[in-house]
Chains A and B, each alone.
Chain A
């Protein structure tokens, strides 16, 4: 193995780790946005912007991660294999997962770049693919990267996974606690200081002439 190949191989693995950290941060920030949360010291739009900028930074590192792996002559990975799943000759399955995750990422990023110009529902549906993209990337990292299966990188991966899992659980619980609109309305009405006096002896439904006639007529 030539030294430049080793360097490329290391670069690919290193940028892979950076991607893990960046995209973990991105998904956590995304969850924070959906909970209308704030980061201390930053305005609300700070969370939105940080989420966006880190994802773009992540894409940059992802590009290096792919290109260095492709350039490395020690293993045979074509550029096409980075985007078309499961066509690689080297570790087709695990790299294929990486390609799947990249494809989802491309869809998410592209739709987000033009989000003000596309259908709202379309954007949301594609963006939700992030919940698939992230675990698939994790799986790729475990399968394709032997470093990740032991030592500090293993702990790092576990920590990231645990954090994201907890964040999703908290988010889900919060949205389930939010009452439905009708309940909110009823709650507000009930909270008012007084209730309308219950009517004493409601009138029976008033039979009008037309009503009597309609009943008779159609029979």
Chain B
């Protein structure tokens, strides 16, 4: 077997950008991801063992039931390398486990969108008291943010203020700290490196009829109402890189009333503040105490952006090259391999004939012999001639002696 070296123009590195579509439909406290229905299996009511609207990492434990046909779970041993699972804190690792102890985790690991409704003022503080040391006595009162996620995002919102004033926590459009906010969090597993600007669409349906739609038509993060009672108004902003949508639009999309606040029987008109109610936010028919909650449904769609480094290699089989095979069937069957062998001489049979694989148009008639091979795979070697990869063709390719061929091999890095 001979080797052929890649030339300077035969190996190309580039980046492939893809835009996976994502659609979440939220109805009656359930989320449907890309229109995937809930499927029940022989053992589990949901074959992936995660609720609809969730992605199951690895998709292990398909149609399994804990205790009946047990789940696959990962484990490792505590050692000096301090390797453990992410859900084990440093404190737990140090004190809960001894050296050599088994540390377990569990599958399935899952992710989905979450909605957090920050009622009243999103920047509100909650006081809490802690006792002073015994020698001093009494208590001391501190205050903590009522909605920590809003506090965590404040810096980022102000950072994007250069793109639009609507991002800023405090601007001429109001102070977000004093407003209620509807925060929708999208894990990055759904979109990759960012949500593609200009692809966001949020649709509010009431009893199945579209009553309002938001789009980021300016591609600057502003969510503009493109249809509804207040078309052209900006109802919120999107953080493309971080996967958050903040909605503050509090105008009525129609005059109907509905219960959409968890733990409250208060009725409200459909507003962007209540978009996505039921998306892992504890809003359900039970928590609002009314079945009319099912009149509301929501659609959130966007495209993600993923970047994959791709190596493209061109393997050339020029005319006069790669026209012999070491496959035993390349030669006619039944020929002596050795011509002469003794303690002094080892001579192979030099007159062995190659099998004629040229296709004939006629039955019982052999076409004229031509030297040709069928190439079925291309092997890639490193500088030290170590085999590092094999590209297998879906069908063997006929290579005639007077033909040039180039195989394009793509490797996602």
The answer to whether A and B come from one shared complex is: no
The interface of chain B, by Cβ under 8 A from chain A, is none
Hey, which bits of chain A sit against chain B, CB under 8 A?
Answer: none
